[in-house]
Structures are given as structure tokens and as C-alpha cells.
Amino acid sequence: MQQLGFGSINELLMVEEPDPYFIRNNFADYMDFWQWENDEEEQALNGLTIARSIDGDIVAIIDNISTPFLMLPRHAESPLKFPDLSSVLSFYERQYDFVDNLYFDPYFEWEQKNISVGRDMIMNLQIIRQIHEGFLEKYQPDKVLNAATQPKYIMRKIGGWVYFDCLSGSSIRVKYQTSVKERAVEIMNYINGLLEQALTNPTK
């Protein structure tokens, strides 16, 4: 976090700019969603929200020396307390079955480009398949998410990923960090070359 800043972990836990007012502004009248002990409710209201999960959990830092990390679960009645951020990540690793497959997608100095394929869905899927195969012949990504459906290839060299829409075949998206933009441009140029070739000579 100190090195890379804010970002998402496996697209499930979004670590954002700390917000000292989020819980109070959004849940002050709904704190009975959870069961509290002693002064925990007031600590939560004064907590510094640092992350939210895709399921609606809230992760905050509170004024508690032994367990300064507090989670307000979206689908449970009792808040959860943790001694450090690593324990929070271990909880989500178990919950979402990451199996040592953690991936941090930084928000720092990022850009995203969309390469549109076309409007004919059947032809698009053929073209996407050709480009997909050509991409994997040339590049070796560091990691892949959703390989069987909507593959997102993680590439450290560009500080981001290359995503193939293999359901509708409408586009390919490339997300990268601006400090290594030239590497991303090289990949996008290669993909555009494959696209031109596929449009000229689509295979079945």
C-alpha cells in the first residue's frame, strides 16, 4: 500500500482514499444493523474508512490499540475486528478462495484504452478469438483472471492488464500506468495489427 497507493485487490476489495466521515454520513441512523459491545459503536462512527468490498462490506480503522481494523459486514450482524491489514486480507483470501492468487490493481497514474471490434456479434467473436490467440503467441502475461469466460491478462510490464470480451466480442480493453505507456502502446499497436488482419481475413 505504501509503495503502490490505492487500488483494488482481485476486483473484490477496493482500497480507497481514507474517509473519516463515510460511516457517520451513511450509517449513523442504521447502526442497529450490527450488534455492538461497550463503546464499539461510537468507535465505528468515528472510524476512518479505508476500503469497501464488492459485497458491501466496509473496512475502517478505529481507535483501538489491540484491534484497530474494523469490518462492518454487509451480510452479518456482528462487526469483525482485526489486529492488522494482513489479517483483513487473509479473511478475504479465505472467503473468496483466492488460493494464493492475490492481485493488486493500482489506481495510481492509470489510463485505459478501448479497442472496438465491430457490431456484428457472430463475426466479432471470430475476430476476438483470432486476436486472442495471436496475443498469447507473442506475450506471456504474469497472471490471468476469469480465463474461461472473460480473460483479463495481468501484465506487470504495463502496470495493468489486457481484457478480452469473449461473450459479446465487442471490444478489447487495455489498462496501464502512464509511466510505462510506451510498453502499453506497443501491445495496443500489435493488437490493432491483429485486428486489421482479422477484419481482412476472418477465420471460422
Task: Tell me what pLDDT residue 202 has.
Answer: 60
d(CA 16, CA 39): 26
Residue 106 has what pLDDT? 85
pLDDT number for residue 99: 64
- What was the pLDDT predicted at 119? 63
**How high is the pLDDT of residue 121?**
64
The domains of the chain, with CATH numbers, are: 7-95 (no CATH), 109-200 (3.30.310.50)
CA separation for the pair 152, 135 (Å, rounded): 12
DSSP 84-119: SHHHHHHHHHHHTT-SS---EEE-TTEEEEEEE--S
User: What is the DSSP pairing of strand 143-145 with strand 110-116?
Assistant: unpaired
Low-confidence ranges of the chain (pLDDT < 50): none
Tell me if residue 76 falls in helix, strand or coil.
Answer: coil
